[in-house]
Structure 1
Amino acid sequence: MSTDEFLESSAATMDDDRIRAFLTEQGVGTLALPDEDAPYLVPMSFGYDGESALYFAFLLFGPESRKETLSDDAAGARFLVYDARSPHEWRSVSLRGRIAPIEEGEWTDLREAMENAWHPDLFSSAEPMRGVRGYRFRIDDWTGIRQGGPSE
């Protein structure tokens, strides 16, 4: 069975309203940044502004951060958010966009969007922390699929 046949028979495409609701409900996903040999993947807490952007707060440790360097150099990036409750009930949204740092004086949108973000407590005690840097991921396009769950 091809992927298209599988999706037609058992999964449904999510419309824009469902994708917006899903991103608002979630708070963690996987950021994919371009790298020389293969994409660099990193789990990230995120906030969603409800319209066209995700926000990240990078906690920076040590003298250099690969995530920071690759984000600063990237022309584009991808982000994946999913929720797999069972083999028969799951949702997945893939986003493509542009990531750029936010100046410290412009963090109002980041703070508001990050209210729903999931934050591990591991980082609160990690040292030495160099600082925090905010990033905005402007969404160019998205796709979402789901299986099971409420049909409304």
Structure 2
Amino acid sequence: MTIDELGEFGMERMDEAAIEEFLTSHGFGVLALPTDGAPYVVPMSFGYDGGTTLYFTYVVGEESQKADLTEAAEAATFLAYSAESAFSWRSVVLTGTVTEVPQNEWARHAEMMDDNAWHPDIFERAMETERIRIYRFDVDDWSGIRHTGLPSGFEGESSDATAD
């Protein structure tokens, strides 16, 4: 079924304003990078610039599969989502390119990274040891879908029923 056909069940496409609002209010998702086999998929926090760019902070060691795959990738996919209930959820899929941000430009992006990015504690400790890198995800295309509320015709069971 197409998303349009699923409209009768309460699903709808998100417009650009709704996608931007969602990205502004959420700070985590899943990054998928291409490999020779199955994609490399990793949860990521992100900062959003309010336009068409996300920023990721990578914690890296001497070797980093994520960083290596990012450098080799011509394109990547990112999924941001929320699921409050079975009848209230949203997801946004973005495709684009990921490139490393030079360290001398980090300060320019710091405020935006703090605005909505969710950061696990490991980031603070990694920053102290300088084992992080910042990458920008330039969005080429995005789409979003949502389901917000019960589908038309769904009544559910009445709470007025009494036991015999």
The SS at the match of 1:107 is helix
Number of aligned residue pairs: give it. Answer: 145
Moved more, 115-124 or 36-45: 115-124
Q: Deviations over 1:32-87 (max 9, x none)?
A: 000110100000010000001000111113x2000000001100000000000000
Corresponding letter in the other structure for 2:83? A
Conserved 8 A contact 1:54-1:136: yes
Give 1:107 deviation, angstroms. 1.4
Percent of aligned positions that are identical: 48
The SS at the match of 1:37 is coil
Uncovered stretches (5+) of structure 2, i.e. residues with no partner: 150-164
In structure 1, what is the Cα distance between the partners aligned to 2:21 and 2:4?
Answer: 27
Match of 1:97 in 2: 96
Q: Which has the higher strand share?
A: 1
Match of 1:34 in 2: 34
The SS at the match of 1:35 is coil
Match of 2:50 in 1: 50
Conserved 8 A contact 1:60-1:130: no
Give 1:121 deviation, angstroms. 1.9
In structure 2, what is the Cα distance between the partners aligned to 1:124 and 1:52?
Answer: 26
Matches within 5 A, 1:105-144: 105-115=104-114, 116-124=116-124, 131-144=131-144
TM-score, normalised via structure 1 length: 0.88
> Aligned in 2, Cα 1:122/1:23: closer, same or farther, shift over 3 Å?
same
Match of 1:69 in 2: 68
Uncovered stretches (5+) of structure 1, i.e. residues with no partner: none
Give 1:108 deviation, angstroms. 3.3
Give 1:132 deviation, angstroms. 1.0
Corresponding letter in the other structure for 1:44? M
In structure 1, what is the Cα distance between the partners aligned to 2:31 and 2:73?
Answer: 12
Task: Report which of the two structures shows the higher radius of gyration computed on alpha carbons.
Answer: 2
Q: Deviations over 1:99-132 (max 9, x none)?
A: 0001011113431221111111245457xx6611
Corresponding letter in the other structure for 1:71? T
The CA RMSD over aligned residues, in Å, is 1.7
Give 1:4 deviation, angstroms. 3.7
Match of 2:160 in 1: none
In structure 2, what is the Cα distance between the partners aligned to 1:85 and 1:146?
Answer: 11
